[in-house]
Structure formats: C-alpha cells, structure tokens
C-alpha cells in the first residue's frame, strides 16, 4: 500500500478529481473514497485499535475533507492532505475516549491455538498498543504509518510536512522507546 492510493482504482489525474469534487461531482468523490478508504481504515485502526471507531473516524475524515476541499491547493494531490486530516483526527479522537479500549483478537487471527496461547497473544497485543499509544504523537504517527502500514519515508514526510531526515530520526527514536517500554515483557 502507499500514500497515493494508486493501484486500487484506475489512475485518474488526482488534481482533476479534486477539481470535480469541488464542483460536487459524486463520481469523482466516489473514486477518491474507493481509492483511500481501505488504507485510511487501516491507519485509523493503527491508532484506535477498534474497528467501529476506525470506521467512524474514516467517515468523519472524508466529510471533513469534503468540507475543506477548497483549502487544498490547486494542483495538489488529495492523498497526503487527506492522511494528515485523518491522523490529526485519530490523535484527537483518542484523547477524547474515556478509556482505552482494545478490541478482542479477531477470530481469524486466533486460529486453532489453545485458549492459553490466545490469552498470551491478547496480552502482548494490549501491551504493544499501550506502548505505541504512550509515544509522543509525532513518533507514534511515524510508527503507525511506517511499521504498520508500510508508508515510505518520503510519503510520511509529505503527510506530516516534515523533512525525510526528521522522519527517519523519529522512527529510530520511537523504536528505541518502544523496545525500552517492552523490555520487561520480552525477557
């Protein structure tokens, strides 16, 4: 997957699509939704760890994008701008959640293992989620986009509006902090 969303739907010049959406073209907006919604769901899930919350967040992000699309510069691509909206919304949403919820391990992931193995997996998952969410926002964002969703450094740099070098150093720092936080469990 990549931040441009290409490869999911036939490539149509994105600035042109944005222009059409500005004029209220449903088909153009539908193409953008088709192109970005699945990856957006994965990114949202990386932050929220809850499927329904993530779906709601993606919907809100698309609506917000539509409301503000006049602010997207002429000739700009929709993807990086949209992901920035989404990431900010995800970070804000999580702050407002009363308590952190971690969804049960999906049945498809649990497989035929014993209940003890499932419990251990769920515990690891909970610890990982807690460790990732305890990172500073910018470091967490880089981890989610890079290590979970496979965005490249140039793509993340575009989304966050930071230099690539900063993105790389954020990732190194985030991994160091995560290893430190999980050290006790990994022994």
Centroid of chain to Cα 126: 18
Q: Which residues contact 22 (CB under 8 A, 6 or more apart)?
A: 69, 70
146: which 2 tokens? 């890079």
Site string for other proteins, 63-102 (x = CB under 8 A): x--xx-----------------------------------
* Smallest separation (angstroms) from other proteins to the CB of 172: 4
Q: Helix H segments across the chain? A: 14-22, 26-48, 51-67, 78-96, 107-110, 115-133, 137-142, 153-160, 164-186
The verdict on 11 binding other proteins (CB under 8 A) reads: no
Cβ proximity of 40 and 83 under 8 Å: yes
Per CB under 8 A, the segment of 78-86, 110-118, 122-130, 151-159 that binds other proteins is: 122-130
Give the closest residue to 182 by CA, choosing from 127, 141, 114, 142.
127
> Which one of residues 1, 91, 148, 162 is an interface residue with other proteins (CB under 8 A)?
148
51: which 2 tokens? 């499927």
Sign for the pseudo-dihedral over CA of 67, 70, 73, 74: positive
* Smallest separation (angstroms) from other proteins to the CB of 32: 10
The verdict on 37 binding other proteins (CB under 8 A) reads: yes
* Smallest separation (angstroms) from other proteins to the CB of 41: 6
Residue list 157-176, contact with other proteins (CB under 8 A): 172, 175-176
82: which 2 tokens? 């949209």
The verdict on 184 binding other proteins (CB under 8 A) reads: no
> Which one of residues 18, 72, 132, 145 is an interface residue with other proteins (CB under 8 A)?
132
* Smallest separation (angstroms) from other proteins to the CB of 46: 6
Nearer residue to other proteins within complex by CB, 56 or 162: 56
């Amino acid at each position: 997957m990549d931040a441009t969303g290409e490869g999911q739907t036939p490539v149509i010049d994105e600035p042109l699509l944005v222009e059409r959406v500005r004029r209220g073209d449903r088909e153009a907006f539908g193409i953008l939704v088709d192109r970005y919604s699945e990856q957006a769901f994965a990114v949202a899930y990386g932050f929220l760890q809850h499927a329904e919350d993530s779906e709601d967040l993606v919907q809100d992000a698309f609506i917000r994008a539509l409301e503000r699309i006049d602010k997207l510069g002429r000739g700009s691509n929709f993807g990086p701008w949209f992901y920035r909206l989404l990431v900010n919304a995800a970070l804000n949403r999580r702050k407002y959640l009363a308590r952190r919820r971690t969804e049960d391990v999906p049945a498809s992931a649990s497989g035929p293992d014993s209940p003890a193995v499932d419990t251990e997996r769920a515990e690891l998952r909970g610890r990982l989620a807690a460790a990732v969410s305890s990172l500073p926002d910018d470091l967490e964002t880089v981890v989610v986009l890079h290590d979970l969703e496979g965005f490249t450094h140039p793509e993340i740099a575009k989304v966050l509006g930071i230099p690539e070098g900063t993105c790389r150093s954020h990732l190194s720092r985030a991994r160091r902090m995560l290893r430190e936080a999980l050290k006790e469990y990994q022994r």
